[in-house]
């Protein structure tokens, strides 16, 4: 079924090694075959009508090819599209997004359009640096490369409103209580009530005090997110004062500012903590893109820590989706099959693993379930679950560290709480989330993955949402 005078569907096409593969869910007012043709045309070399300017080179070498369609009803289905490597600009993720995640969302025939996943060829990945330090670099700094225990972190609360001394006091109490990491929240940068430079100095002084008192290395990520020149001024300031970490609101920064900011952070040997605020606007509803795609961009560009969701906390994202996001964050290769509406993946050898951050509605009672899902290579981060503890911030921090220590020793939280009062008080207030439900879901997925994949193919986007 041609679109604009050309046909982009080729069921016999075998994707080349260097092709990009894009998996899309679409539903609309036209047959899914016509929708697929329109998406391939609009995202590559075509338009709504036949062109006098089309030539053989463009058609043969640069067009997108729909090589598979799985119908879920007459006007809906999954679409697999292969794009040739030469179609895309070098080192230009913005141009890539403008092609495969751009105008296609405006096609009037569409009622639903969701970009499920993208498989990036190794040749493309080699253009990007990947993390400078990555998970292992952060572990070496903190001193957990041998113990392999999860890291613990927090965000001083209230999110905004504390002055620099108040903020630093909360950070100090958090570290003294046993945490490894403190971060600014996504909406705190340089407000008058808490200026960036003043807050930075107060918190760094608190961190240095903790290190002298305990002998432990701790981390703080000041949020530098802003227009590019202000970000660079703040990064220069952090580097000039010898601090090793910054935070960026990576999704909101976009793919114009982010690559330059990360290149500078790499030159300065700064760890980068990546917050994903805003991504859900392009993920929830009838139109959007799976976060797994952005996660791949961020790992290629080189963040060191990245929020990926908890699977057990307050933010959307079920255990099986979060499991895949964690795999993409720190594994080299995924299973060679479609996985609940997502593609297999393979990372270029130089792309280091990043540290997954499990954050959003966390408290000590959820740590065991979170680690059952993520494994030990995770930063378990809590805000209200620490600062809302009956004993305050220090007690809440102690409860989180005790929970992590219990998991590292293979002891259940209720059993460990019998001899650790801060943990017991946290469980009494916030409750205990047993890992049994998570472990059962993971076991069921392992046992029934073929049936689950078939269900996704049968139900479409609704089937994906069931498992995500």
Residues 252 and 323 in one domain: yes
The set of residues, in sequence order, having a beta carbon less than 8 Å from that of 123 and lying 6+ positions away, is 17, 18, 85
106: number of Cβ within 10 Å: 10
Among candidate residues 125, 148, 180, the one where a domain is terminated:
125
Residues 68 and 175 in one domain: no
pLDDT value at position 317? 62
- Look up residue 452 and give its two tokens: 């689950």
In a domain, 422, yes or no: yes
| Domain range for 224 | 134-438
Residues 91 and 140 in one domain: no
Residues 77 and 153 in one domain: no
In a domain, 221, yes or no: yes
CA 135 – CA 353 distance, rounded (Å)? 6
In a domain, 8, yes or no: no
pLDDT value at position 389? 98
- Count CA within 13 A, CB hemisphere, residue 230: 11
Among candidate residues 91, 125, 159, the one where a domain is terminated:
125
pLDDT value at position 218? 98
3-state SS track over the chain:
CCECCECCECCCCCCCCCCEEEEEEEEECCCHHHHHHHHHHHCCCCCCCCCCCCCHHHHHHCCCEEEEEEECCCCEEEEEEEECHHHCCCCCHHHHHHHHCCHHHHCCCEEEEEEEEEECCHHHHCCCCCCCCHHHHHHHHHCCCCCCCCEEEECCCCCCCCCHHHHHHHHHHHHHCCCCEEECCCCCCCCCCCCHHHHHHHHHHHHHHHHHHHCCCCEEECECCCCHHHHHHHHHHHHHCCCCEEEEEHHHHHHHHHHHHHHHHHHCCCEEEEECCCHHHHCCCCEEECHHHHHHHHHHHCCCEEECCCCCCCCCCCHHHHHHHHHHHHCCECCCCCECCECCCECCCCCCCCEEEEECCCCHHHHHHHHHHHCCCEEEEECHHHHCCCCHHHHHHHHHHHHHHHHHHCCCHHHHHCCCHHHHHHHHHHCCCCCHHHHHHHHHHHHHHHHHHHHHHHHCHHHHHHCC
pLDDT value at position 142? 98
Cβ–Cβ under 8 Å, residues 322 and 310: yes
pLDDT value at position 320? 87
pLDDT tens profile 395-415: 999 999 999 999 999 999 999
In a domain, 225, yes or no: yes
Shortest CA distance to 263 belongs to which of 96, 85, 127? 127
pLDDT value at position 115? 96
For residue 109, give the CATH number of its domain.
Answer: 3.30.70.150
Cβ–Cβ under 8 Å, residues 324 and 309: no
Residues 180 and 293 in one domain: yes
Residues 67 and 202 in one domain: no
- Select which of 87, 275, 323, 326 is catalytic: 275
pLDDT tens profile 157-183: 998 999 999 999 999 999 999 999 999
Residues 97 and 152 in one domain: no
Number of domains in the chain: 2
CA 422 – CA 297 distance, rounded (Å)? 40
In a domain, 322, yes or no: yes
pLDDT value at position 1? 62
In a domain, 459, yes or no: no
- Look up residue 41 and give its two tokens: 């045309």
pLDDT value at position 49? 80
For residue 273, give the CATH number of its domain.
Answer: 3.20.20.110
- Select which of 157, 273, 374, 420 is catalytic: 157
In a domain, 461, yes or no: no
Among candidate residues 125, 156, 175, the one where a domain is terminated:
125
**Cα 91 to chain center, whole Å?**
20
Residues 121 and 250 in one domain: no
Residues 112 and 143 in one domain: no
Strand duo 65-71 + 110-119: pairing: unpaired
Residue that is written with structure tokens 């253009």 in the block: 127
In a domain, 464, yes or no: no
Known active-site residue 275? yes
Residues 198 and 90 in one domain: no
**CA angle centred on 285, ends 284 and 289, rounded to 5°:** 55
Residues 180 and 117 in one domain: no
Residue segments in the chain with a per-residue pLDDT below the cut of 70: 1, 4, 313-317
Ramachandran bin of 119, using left for φ above 0, alpha for ψ from -120 to 50, beta for the remaining angles: beta
pLDDT value at position 450? 87
Residues 210 and 99 in one domain: no
Known active-site residue 266? no
pLDDT value at position 46? 80
**Beta bridge pairs of residue 65:** 82
């Amino acid at each position: 079924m041609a679109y604009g005078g050309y046909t982009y569907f080729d069921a016999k096409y075998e994707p080349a090694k260097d092709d990009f593969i894009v998996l899309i869910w679409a539903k609309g007012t036209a047959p899914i075959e016509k929708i697929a043709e329109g998406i391939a045309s609009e995202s590559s070399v075509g338009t709504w009508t036949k062109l006098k300017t089309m030539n053989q080179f463009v058609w043969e070498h640069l067009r997108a090819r729909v090589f598979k369609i799985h119908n879920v009803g007459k006007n809906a289905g999954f679409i697999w599209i292969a794009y040739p490597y030469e179609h895309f600009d070098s080192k230009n993720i913005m141009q890539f997004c403008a092609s495969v995640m751009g105008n296609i969302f405006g096609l009037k025939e569409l009622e639903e359009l969701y970009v499920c996943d993208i498989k990036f060829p190794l040749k493309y990945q080699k253009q990007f640096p990947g993390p400078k330090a990555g998970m292992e670099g952060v572990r070496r700094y903190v001193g957990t490369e041998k113990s392999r225990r999860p890291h613990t972190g927090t965000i001083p609360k209230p999110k905004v409103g504390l002055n620099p001394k108040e903020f630093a006091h909360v950070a100090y109490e958090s570290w003294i209580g046993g945490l490894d990491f403190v971060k600014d929240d996504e909406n705190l940068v340089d407000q008058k009530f808490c200026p960036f430079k003043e807050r930075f100095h107060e918190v760094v002084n608190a961190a240095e005090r903790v290190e002298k008192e305990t002998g432990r290395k701790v981390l703080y990520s000041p949020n530098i997110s802003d227009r590019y020149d202000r970000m660079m001024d703040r990064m220069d300031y952090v580097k000039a004062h010898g601090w090793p970490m910054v935070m960026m609101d990576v999704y909101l920064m976009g793919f114009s500012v982010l690559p330059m900011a990360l290149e500078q952070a790499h030159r300065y040997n700064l760890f980068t903590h990546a917050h994903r605020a805003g991504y859900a606007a392009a993920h929830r509803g009838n139109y959007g893109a799976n976060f797994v795609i952005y996660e791949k961009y961020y790992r290629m560009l080189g963040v060191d820590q990245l929020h990926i969701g908890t699977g057990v906390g307050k933010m959307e994202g079920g255990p099986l989706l979060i499991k895949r996001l964690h795999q993409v964050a720190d594994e080299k290769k995924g299973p060679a099959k479609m996985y609940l509406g997502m593609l297999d993946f393979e990372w270029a050898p130089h792309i280091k693993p990043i540290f997954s951050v499990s954050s959003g509605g966390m408290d000590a009672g959820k740590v065991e379930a979170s680690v059952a899902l993520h494994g030990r290579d995770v930063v378990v981060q809590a805000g209200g679950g620490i600062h809302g503890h009956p004993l305050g911030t220090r007690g809440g921090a102690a409860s989180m560290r005790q929970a992590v220590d219990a998991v590292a020793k293979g002891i259940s939280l209720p059993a460990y709480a019998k001899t650790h009062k801060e943990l017991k008080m946290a469980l009494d207030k916030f409750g205990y989330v047993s890992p049994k439900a998570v472990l059962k879901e993971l076991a069921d997925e392992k046992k029934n993955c073929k049936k689950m994949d078939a269900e996704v193919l049968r139900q479409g986007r609704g089937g994906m949402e069931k498992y995500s």
